[in-house]
Amino acid sequence: MNSDTPAKTLEDFYDWIIVRFTGEIILKSERLQNRLLNTLMKDLHAVLSRKGLEGTIIERTRSRIFLESREFESLQDVKEALSIIPGIRSFSRCKRSPLDLEKLDRMMSFMADRLFTLDCTFAIRVRRVGEHHPFSSQDIERRVGRLLLDKFPEMNISVDLEHPDVTLRAEIRDDEMVLFHEIHQGIGGIPSDSTFKVKCFLDDKERSVENARALLKRGIQLAPCIIFPGESRDIEDLLAELNSKKKFRHMLARALALQPSNNITIKVLPHDSQLEILLSQAGFTTTGFLRDIFIQIGVAYALQEQNNPQPLTYSLAYSYALHGSALPIKVLSAILHFIHSCYQDIPSPILLLPILAHGDVKSNLIDISPFTMEPMGTILKNLKGSRNELVLSLQRMSDDEIHVTFNVFNGLFTRFPPRSHVL
């Protein structure tokens, strides 16, 4: 064996990709589990088609999904596709074979020959499912470990069960064995559930991406809404202005990449100049994020009044973090109370703020702790005398809504409906 053989040279050995779905799916009732898995299969087909991999063979077993991988021209495309589908816990390139322990020994030896380097450490990990095997997982691990130590004495290899350089893995399920060595993480969550759709406000901030992805991971379908700073009602001017904002298009593509459809309908609500005047006179800054959230809540109420006697559900483009600086509840409550007082005769829309508990989002959330209730109280007091004008401005925005199509693959806005349908 040549010690200079590069690692990860099993491209011609692996013939499938094993996809493991999340434990949340397994814990559901059989009926709901089947519905979620059927949705996951549809999402797999849709996302693979978006990557140009329409011919992929997809096979579902009781606890796993397998993708036939020999025909893939770009494995990177497959990895990118699988890493953005809610409901997938992890995936690996693998070799499938009927259960045969002598063949397992030969295949493990072949994998070791390709992956081991001089002085490397290794571990064998076996997971066994089934009641009729005359051996345990530990039996197989010890058996293969001894075999490899005896087979490669010149490599000075050793076993390290805590932090091995190479881990050879096998899943034995009833009469089949699956061999692999790498595990790529998915995003987890559960597949999309078409019974629950949320109108989601999006902007060009990182928090907006985090919020949208958090909702999509929970199986929620999004109906995106954009409050656009321009006032143009001409569709061509609007499309040109939207497509000129490269950063915004990139952020939007990231936020919506977890949805299986390539073409996504987005509701655009152009700003109303009178609303800007009212908010500025009351004390809101022209670029402040409290002003943005005020407008989003106001528009949610205006759309609620316009469209439906039943409460609609909206997600704001902001988060509440368990750790870190985020929107104080007392400030949000003050804004909600004021806007609700302007729309007392309609059912209140349901507003969602995803809770982001992981520490790495701290830097993406704006610190408004210096913004006390006193200035917010002053702003809202200044607006009390302009409630009628405020409601009329918000109504004009909701009346002037324009629907456009956003293509997640190329990041461009086009007319709605799209001229050609692309999955």
- Please give the pLDDT value at position 3: 43
Under 8 Å between Cβ of 64 and 10:
no
Class of the 192-415 domain?
alpha beta
Q: What is the pLDDT of residues 118-153, one digit of tens each?
A: 999 999 999 998 878 899 999 999 999 999 999 999
pLDDT grade for 8, boundaries at 50, 70 and 90: low
Q: Per mean pLDDT, which range of 276-290, 362-376, 384-398, 408-422 is the poorest?
A: 362-376
Q: What is the pLDDT of residues 145-156, one digit of tens each?
A: 999 999 999 999
pLDDT grade for 361, boundaries at 50, 70 and 90: very low
- Please give the pLDDT value at position 359: 43
pLDDT grade for 371, boundaries at 50, 70 and 90: very low
- Please give the pLDDT value at position 183: 94
- Please give the pLDDT value at position 51: 74
Helix (H, G, I), strand (E, B) or coil at 109: helix
Question: Nearest CA to 101 among 64, 135, 60, 72?
Answer: 135
- Please give the pLDDT value at position 6: 43
Q: What is the pLDDT of residues 278-303, one digit of tens each?
A: 999 998 876 677 888 899 999 999 98
Under 8 Å between Cβ of 423 and 262:
yes
Under 8 Å between Cβ of 65 and 59:
yes
Contacts of 42 (CB under 8 A, 6+ apart): 260
Contacts of 388 (CB under 8 A, 6+ apart): none
pLDDT at 94 over 70: yes
Under 8 Å between Cβ of 297 and 336:
yes
pLDDT at 310 over 80: no
Overall average pLDDT of the 204-211 stretch: 79
- 343/332 Cα distance (integer angstroms): 17
Overall average pLDDT of the 83-105 stretch: 93
pLDDT grade for 261, boundaries at 50, 70 and 90: confident
- Please give the pLDDT value at position 168: 97
22-30 contacts at long range (C-beta below 8 A, 24 or more positions apart): 22/87, 22/88, 22/89, 22/186, 22/188, 22/189, 22/190, 23/89, 24/189, 24/190, 25/87, 25/190, 25/191, 26/63
pLDDT grade for 376, boundaries at 50, 70 and 90: confident
- Residue 227 pairs in a beta bridge with 269
pLDDT grade for 159, boundaries at 50, 70 and 90: very high
Residues forming CATH 3.30.2130.30 domain(s) in the chain: 16-187
Overall average pLDDT of the 224-239 stretch: 82
- Please give the pLDDT value at position 328: 64
Question: Nearest CA to 250 among 205, 289, 287?
Answer: 205
- 68/84 Cα distance (integer angstroms): 19
Helix (H, G, I), strand (E, B) or coil at 232: coil
pLDDT at 241 over 80: yes
β-strands 313-315, 88-98: how paired? Answer: unpaired
pLDDT grade for 418, boundaries at 50, 70 and 90: low
- 355/285 Cα distance (integer angstroms): 26
- 3/9 Cα distance (integer angstroms): 13
> Three-state SS string across 269-316, please?
EECCHHHHHHHHHHCCCCCCHHHHHHHHHHHHHHHHHHHCCCCCEEEC
Residue with tokens 């629950």: 196
What's the CA dihedral at 196, 197, 198, 204 to 10 degrees?
A: 130
Residues forming CATH 3.40.50 domain(s) in the chain: 192-415
- Please give the pLDDT value at position 169: 97
Q: 317 exposed, middle or buried (CB, 10 Å; 0-12, 13-18, 19+)?
A: buried
- Please give the pLDDT value at position 321: 53
Tell me if the domain spanning 16-187 has CATH number 3.30.2130.30: yes
Under 8 Å between Cβ of 91 and 184:
yes
Overall average pLDDT of the 171-196 stretch: 88
Overall average pLDDT of the 161-176 stretch: 94
- Please give the pLDDT value at position 138: 94
Under 8 Å between Cβ of 339 and 314:
no
Question: To the nearest whole percent, how much of the chain has pLDDT over 70?
Answer: 84
Q: Which has more confidence, 186 or 361? A: 186
pLDDT at 372 over 50: no
Overall average pLDDT of the 23-47 stretch: 88
pLDDT grade for 339, boundaries at 50, 70 and 90: very high
